[in-house]
């Protein structure tokens, strides 16, 4: 390993914490700064605060050693060569990203710059943010040659964040000066030269000496647009397949077969073609809205993104219509909801389509009993008291005596449910699956009325045979 680089990461949310620990894993020395003292204390004490594979292991390995958690941004600025800004950029009322946290951090950094620093945008920000950060720092009296602002977007997914960081499809470094690009290229060298992949304790993943991640050097503005365009494109792919799934329902075709048929075209690719109840999470909804707003402000017609959003909203309404279609009236019906997280393998419920659906069902007067393997604690803590569902202890507890089961999150645990047991616990054997976790033929065989997305509804095989007999 070459000389470790001293790196500050400001913000210890999803992106910041994962980046801080992964930089340490790559051999660097990291100061992770957050202004929330309770968060800093929890991290110092070994609590990751989020549910994420590999994170507890990395936190235990590096906390209070190669990674120090602190509230002191002044010290971090003085000590570190590169300062990554990874604070939140929530959606404002107009759909724009709210950049006030980024601005506050930039002016605070400016007050403590005493030698050349590279300031790195790691948060997802609209194009031109680097210009604003530069202006803010200059306005605070820092000379233009004492710093550079670089964009280094992060593409990690929740649930596989550590693996994604250390085994990326690509690393994007948007820098308008060679000096700054060099610092970033050196930070990522353990990945791009493959030395990290020789480590016997490395986090496993798809990259190796033979399959090194490419590093793409671009202008700062291009890098900013790459991040928004990537997320918007992935959201578009999901809305596209959801629209196709609706067509499949109307035409009595099977969307899984269609998705496979189009995904095998290497120009399209098989990923992000899973139909469902629409995309959610802390990124796609916010980033599609922000990208659309950027285009609007620049006078560029990007109405395609409005359609992407419209399909996403409609997908939830269609699912509710499906529930109504299967159960007729909804008031007083007892529904087992499996899954609250916005996707499997995470406890995150931000912008979760499952939560939106629970709210819609409660609005219709249903009694909702929900179970999620990881997200219930957060749901209880974060949802307003008006969202009155009962939290079950297990799948069995949730489905007992229910009028139907609704599958809203793609947890593997749900796909592996014992169907006989499920059948025996339900009041009526009806499964309405928003994530296509089951094979319709198998469900019919097991005695269920089974509704899914973009595939024909099936009814119990057993019942038909019994009736004939
Ligand atoms: C996303 C991007 O993938 C990541 O690159 C970026 O850095 C942050 O945003 P994340 O929000 O963690 O990551 O989740 P992701 O796995 O992309 O799923 C987002 C949403 O789309 C989920 O609600 C998921 O269920 C849904 N989805 C995903 C589908 O409905 N169908 C698919 O085929 C894929």
Q: Are residues 52 and 169 in the same domain?
A: yes
Q: Is 302 annotated as a binding residue?
A: no
CA-CA-CA-CA torsion sign (273, 278, 284, 289): positive
* pLDDT tier, 1 (very low <50, low <70, confident <90, very high otherwise): low
Q: What is the 3-state secondary structure (H, E, C) of 412-457?
A: HHHHCCCHHHHHHHCCCCEEEECCCCCCHHHHHHCCCEEECCCCCC
- 375: domain range? 315-468
- 151 neighbors 118 (Cβ within 8 angstroms): no
The ligand 1 atom nearest the CA atom of 273: 33
Q: Take atom 26 of ligand 1 and give the residue whose Cα is closest.
A: 279
Q: What's the CA-to-centroid distance between 182 and ligand 1, angstroms?
A: 32
Q: Are residues 211 and 231 in the same domain?
A: no
Q: Are residues 268 and 379 in the same domain?
A: no
What percent of the chain is modeled with pLDDT above 90? 94
Residue of 151, 202, 209, 204 whose CA lies nearest to 180: 151
Residues with CB under 6 A from ligand 1: 154-158, 231, 234, 238, 272-274, 276, 279-281, 283-284, 342-343
Q: Are residues 404 and 429 in the same domain?
A: yes
Task: Tell me how far CA of residue 373 lies from CA of 26, 84, 92, 334, 337, in angstroms.
Answer: 32, 33, 31, 20, 12
Tokens of 143: 């000379």
Give the pLDDT confidence of 280-293 residue by residue, as tens digits: 999 999 999 999 99
Q: What is the dihedral of CA 41, 44, 49, 51, to 10 degrees?
A: 180
Give the pLDDT confidence of 17-35 residue by residue, as tens digits: 999 999 999 999 999 999 9
Give the pLDDT confidence of 430-439 residue by residue, as tens digits: 999 999 999 9
Q: Are residues 319 and 464 in the same domain?
A: yes
Is 1 contained in some domain?
no
Q: Are residues 140 and 16 in the same domain?
A: yes
ipTM value:
0.98
Give the pLDDT confidence of 155-206 residue by residue, as tens digits: 999 999 999 999 999 999 999 999 999 999 999 999 999 999 999 999 999 9
Residue 190 and residue 197: Cα distance in Å, rounded? Answer: 8
Residue 317 and residue 344: Cα distance in Å, rounded? Answer: 21
Give the residue-averaged pLDDT of 306-310. 98
- Helix/strand/coil for 67: strand
Q: Are residues 173 and 276 in the same domain?
A: no
Q: Are residues 159 and 12 in the same domain?
A: yes
Is 207 contained in some domain?
yes
Q: Are residues 93 and 188 in the same domain?
A: yes
Q: Is 316 annotated as a binding residue?
A: no
Tokens of 240: 């596209």
Q: Are residues 203 and 61 in the same domain?
A: yes
**Per-residue pLDDT at 463 exceeds 60:** no
**Per-residue pLDDT at 466 exceeds 60:** no
* pLDDT tier, 468 (very low <50, low <70, confident <90, very high otherwise): very low
**Phi, psi dihedral angles at 92 (to 5 degrees):** -85, 175
Q: Is 310 annotated as a binding residue?
A: no
**Cβ–Cβ contacts within 10 Å for residue 447, how many?**
19
The pTM is what? 0.95
Q: Are residues 35 and 86 in the same domain?
A: yes
Residue 157 and residue 111: Cα distance in Å, rounded? Answer: 34
* pLDDT tier, 2 (very low <50, low <70, confident <90, very high otherwise): confident
**Phi, psi dihedral angles at 126 (to 5 degrees):** -70, 160
**Cβ–Cβ contacts within 10 Å for residue 267, how many?**
5
Tokens of 405: 């089961």
Give the pLDDT confidence of 110-141 residue by residue, as tens digits: 999 999 999 999 988 999 999 999 999 999 99
- Helix/strand/coil for 404: strand
């Amino acid at each position: 390993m070459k000389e470790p680089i001293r790196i500050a990461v400001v913000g210890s949310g999803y992106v910041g914490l994962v980046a801080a620990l992964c930089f340490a894993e790559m051999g660097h020395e990291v100061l992770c700064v957050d202004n929330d003292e309770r968060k800093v204390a929890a991290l110092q004490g070994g609590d990751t605060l989020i549910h994420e594979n590999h994170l507890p292991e990395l936190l235990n390995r590096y906390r209070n050693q190669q990674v120090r958690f602190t509230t002191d941004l002044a010290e971090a600025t003085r000590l570190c060569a590169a300062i990554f800004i990874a604070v939140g950029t929530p959606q404002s009322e107009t759909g724009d990203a709210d950049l006030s946290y980024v601005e506050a951090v930039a002016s605070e950094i400016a007050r403590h710059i005493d030698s050349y620093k590279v300031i790195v945008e790691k948060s997802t920000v609209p194009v031109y943010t680097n210009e604003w950060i530069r202006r803010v720092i200059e306005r605070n009296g820092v000379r233009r040659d004492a710093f550079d602002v670089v964009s280094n977007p992060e593409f990690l997914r929740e649930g596989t964040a550590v693996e994604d960081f250390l085994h990326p499809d690509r690393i994007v470094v948007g820098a308008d000066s060679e000096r700054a690009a060099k610092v970033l290229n050196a930070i990522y060298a353990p990945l791009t030269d493959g030395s990290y992949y020789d480590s016997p304790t490395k986090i496993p993943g798809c990259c190796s000496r033979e399959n090194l991640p490419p590093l793409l050097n671009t202008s700062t503005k291009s890098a900013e647009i790459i991040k928004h365009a990537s997320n918007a494109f992935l959201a578009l792919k999901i809305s596209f397949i959801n629209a196709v799934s609706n067509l499949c329902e109307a035409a009595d075709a099977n969307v899984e077969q269609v998705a496979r048929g189009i995904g095998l075209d290497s120009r399209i690719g098989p990923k992000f073609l899973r139909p469902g109840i629409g995309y959610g999470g802390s990124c796609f909804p916010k980033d599609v809205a922000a990208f659309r707003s950027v285009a609007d402000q620049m006078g560029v017609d990007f109405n395609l993104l409005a359609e992407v959003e419209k399909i996403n909203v409609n997908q939830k309404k269609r699912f509710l219509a499906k529930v109504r279609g299967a159960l007729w009236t909804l008031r007083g019906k007892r529904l087992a909801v499996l899954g609250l997280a916005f996707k499997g393998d995470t406890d995150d419920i931000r912008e979760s389509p499952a939560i939106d659906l629970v709210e819609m069902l409660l609005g219709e007067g249903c009694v909702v009993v929900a179970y999620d393997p990881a997200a219930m604690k957060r749901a209880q803590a974060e949802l307003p008291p008006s969202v009155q569902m009962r939290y079950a202890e297990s799948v069995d507890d949730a489905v007992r005596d229910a009028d139907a089961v609704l599958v809203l999150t793609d947890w593997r645990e749900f796909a592996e449910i014992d169907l006989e047991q499920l059948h025996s616990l339900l009041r009526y054997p009806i499964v309405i699956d928003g994530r296509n976790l089951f094979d319709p033929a198998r469900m019919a065989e097991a005695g269920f009325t089974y509704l899914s997305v973009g595939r024909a509804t099936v009814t119990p095989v057993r019942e038909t045979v019994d009736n004939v007999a």
